[in-house]
Amino acid sequence: MSFLNAQTLRELAIGLQMTVLLIVLSAPLGLAVGCVVAWTGVYAPLPLRWGSHIYRSALRGTPLLVQLFLLYYGLPRFGFVLSPLTAAVLGFSLCSGAYHAEYLRAALLSIPESQFEAARALGLSRRSALLRVVFPQALRRALPGCTNEVVYLVKYSSLAYLVTLVELTGAGRLIAYRTFRFFEVFLIVGVIYLMLVAVVAAGAAWVERRVALERTPEPGVMRDRPIGRPSGHGASLRRRRRVQNMS
Partner 1 sequence: MLGVPVGIGHRYGNRVLRTFLWVFDRLFRGFPVIVLLFLFYFGLGGLPGIRIPPFTAAVLALGLRSAAYQGQVFRGALGMVEHGQEEAARALGMHRGQTLLWILLPQAFRFSLPALANEYAVVLKDSALAFVVGVVELMSAGRFMATRNRDPLTAYLAVALLYWILTSGGVAVLRLLEHRTRIPGLGLERLRR
Up-side HSE of residue 101: CA atoms within 13 Å toward CB? Answer: 30
Among 13, 70, 118, 222, binds partner 1 (CB under 8 A): 70
Distances (CA, A) of 180 to 107, 151, 172, 173, 175: 49, 30, 11, 10, 8
Q: How far is CA 241 from the centre of its chain?
A: 31
120 binds partner 1 (CB under 8 A): no
85 binds partner 1 (CB under 8 A): no
The piece of 27-35, 44-52, 111-119, 159-167 that touches partner 1 (CB under 8 A) is: 159-167
In the complex, the smallest distance separating the C-beta of residue 25 from partner 1, rounded to whole angstroms, is 18
Interaction with partner 1 in 183-212: which residues (CB under 8 A)?
183, 186-187, 189-190, 193-194, 197
112 binds partner 1 (CB under 8 A): no
23 binds partner 1 (CB under 8 A): no
62 binds partner 1 (CB under 8 A): yes
The one-letter code for the residue type at 12 is L
- What gap in Å lies between CA 146 and CA 113, rounded to an integer? 23
In the complex, the smallest distance separating the C-beta of residue 54 from partner 1, rounded to whole angstroms, is 11
All residues at 6 or more sequence positions from 43 whose CB lies less than 8 Å from its CB, including other chains: 130
In the complex, the smallest distance separating the C-beta of residue 244 from partner 1, rounded to whole angstroms, is 36
Up-side HSE of residue 19: CA atoms within 13 Å toward CB? Answer: 28
